[in-house]
Structure 1
Amino acid sequence: MYYRMIKPTAALSPWVECYWQVQFESGLNVKEETILPNGKVEMIFALQGNYQVVNRKTKHVKEAWLSGLQLEPLHIEYSGTSNLVGIRFKPYGLFPFLTIPICETANFVEPCSDIFGSVYQQLYDVLLQLNHESYIGQSIDHFLLNLINEMKTKQYKLMKEISSQLQKNSNQAISDLALNLGYTERHLTRLCRDQFGVSPKMIARIFRFERALSNLFGCPDAPNVNRAIELGFYDQSHFLKEFKRFSGMTPEVYKQKAKNASNFL
């Protein structure tokens, strides 16, 4: 497997975490990959490979698709030679590039043609011809800089602060967060739905789950009973319920899968 990450230009770094490319050979047999919620949004260009979404409304994805903020496990089947290039947005990063309400992308996987029309096609055609890291980065930079709506970037610092606060303290009452930021709870909720696609409470839950995943993956042999409070859950029962809600499995099953599988994210 070949994998690399590419930094976006500084003008896009408030919104984009990175670009990436992965190439691998999976053989003729169909394989399934499970992608768990992580608070990120991805735009993916399949330069090679056959992909099918197992558990979303859109089943067959071709050439390019957008994977919005996911709220449950995403199962994808693939086969053959794969060459993927992706844009990884920050949790609030997709908003200024869309002309549709961002809530329409939450927990969905949609073809880029349905969201961006034919605009994405030019970038896709360029990526097919490129392999050098700098050229790929420059081409995606150009695409996004032409796509961004500057009027939608005005509240970047606020969105960054909301995201930071929810990551640091997932149990913080939304009313307290709103008060600290100088907003009503209702207004804060509307802002998050408008620019993240989901409520602030859901964002906090996803961040807490992602933190639990990282902890389990990094320390798979530590007992679960010691993790719950440390990770921001109220108790062991709350930890187990939330983990199964977002992963579809228990922490013990996840730890075993994470130990043994290369196609489990």
Structure 2
Amino acid sequence: MLYRTRKPSPILVPWVEAFWHVQLDAGPIPKRETILPNGKIEMIFAIDGNYTVVNRQTNRMKQSWLSGIQHEPLHISYHGRSNLIGIRFHPNGLFPFLNLPVSETVNVVEPLNEIIGKVYDELFESIYQATSTERIFSNLDQFLVKSMDHSKVKQIKLMMEITRYLKTHPEQSISLLADKLGVSQRHLGRVCHDHLGMTPKLLARIFRFEKSFSHLYSQSDEEDFRSLIDLGFYDQSHFIKEFKRFSGMTPEEY
């Protein structure tokens, strides 16, 4: 397997985590993979590959697709050779590049041409015809810079503070976050709805779910209980309920 990444240009850093390229051969027998909620947004271009979403309304994924923030497990099936190019966005990263509400991208996987419209063909052709991975990354970078709606970046500092805090302190209350930022909970909720397509509480729960994986490998009952409390779980049953909510399975099944 080949895997490469590159950081975006500085102007895109608040929105884009990385560009990536992966090549692999999964063989002729279909493989099934479960992608768990992680707060990431992926825009994926399949130069080569056979991918199917098992548990969403979208079925066969052709050429390219957008996977928004997922708050349920995503099951995909694939086989054969894959040559995939991707843009990994921060949780708030889609807002300045879309002409539709971000909420319409949450928990869905949609064909990219239906999301970005008439510029899609030109974008995909620039990727397909590029002679190197670096050229592809540069083309994607230029496309995003050109597509950015600068009238939508006014709240970027606030959104960066929100997502950073939710990721590092997912156990804290939203009221405490609002107080720290000096805004009302209503304003906080409205900004998150516009930029994330979801409530700050739901994103915090997704981040807490991610952090809870270390709990699965704790070495003692005492350490086990302490880590649960530190993450804001009331008890073991609360943790199991949340784990199943986001993964579709119990910790034991995982």
TM-score (norm 1): 0.90
Q: In the alignment, residue 150 of structure 2 is paired with which amino acid?
A: E
What is the CA distance between 1:223 and its match in structure 2? 5.0
Equivalent position SS for 1:75 = strand
List runs of 5+ in structure 2 lacking aligned partners: none
Aligned residue number for residue 205 of structure 1: 205
* Residues 1-265 of structure 1 mapped to structure 2, 5 A cutoff: 1-130=1-130, 132-213=132-213, 215=214, 220=217, 222=219, 225-226=224-225, 227-254=227-254
List runs of 5+ in structure 1 lacking aligned partners: 255-265
Separation in 1 of the partners of 2:28 and 2:189? Answer: 47
Equivalent position SS for 1:117 = helix
Equivalent position SS for 1:77 = strand
What is the CA distance between 1:50 and its match in structure 2? 1.0
What is the CA distance between 1:70 and its match in structure 2? 0.2
Separation in 2 of the partners of 1:122 and 1:35? Answer: 30
Q: Provide closer, same or farther for how the CA distance between residues 131 and 21 of structure 1 changes in structure 2, counting only shifts above 3 A.
A: farther
Separation in 1 of the partners of 2:229 and 2:176? Answer: 21
**After superposition, what is the alpha-carbon deviation per residue over 1:98-148, rounded to whole angstroms, capped at 9, x for unaligned?**
100000000000011111013122221122223523212211111111111
Equivalent position SS for 1:33 = strand
Percent identical pairs in the alignment equals 54
**8 A Cα contact 1:7 1:137, kept in partner:** no
Separation in 1 of the partners of 2:219 and 2:146? Answer: 48
Q: Provide closer, same or farther for how the CA distance between residues 196 and 223 of structure 1 changes in structure 2, counting only shifts above 3 A.
A: farther
Separation in 2 of the partners of 1:112 and 1:222? Answer: 44
State the 4+ residue runs in structure 1 displaced beyond 6 angstroms: none
Q: Provide closer, same or farther for how the CA distance between residues 172 and 221 of structure 1 changes in structure 2, counting only shifts above 3 A.
A: closer
What is the CA distance between 1:221 and its match in structure 2? 6.1
Separation in 2 of the partners of 1:168 and 1:234? Answer: 19
TM-score (norm 2): 0.93
What is the CA distance between 1:71 and its match in structure 2? 0.5
Separation in 1 of the partners of 2:34 and 2:114? Answer: 24
Q: In the alignment, residue 211 of structure 1 is paired with which amino acid?
A: K
Q: In the alignment, residue 217 of structure 2 is paired with which amino acid?
A: P
Equivalent position SS for 2:253 = helix
What is the CA distance between 1:210 and its match in structure 2? 1.3
**8 A Cα contact 2:172 2:232, kept in partner:** no
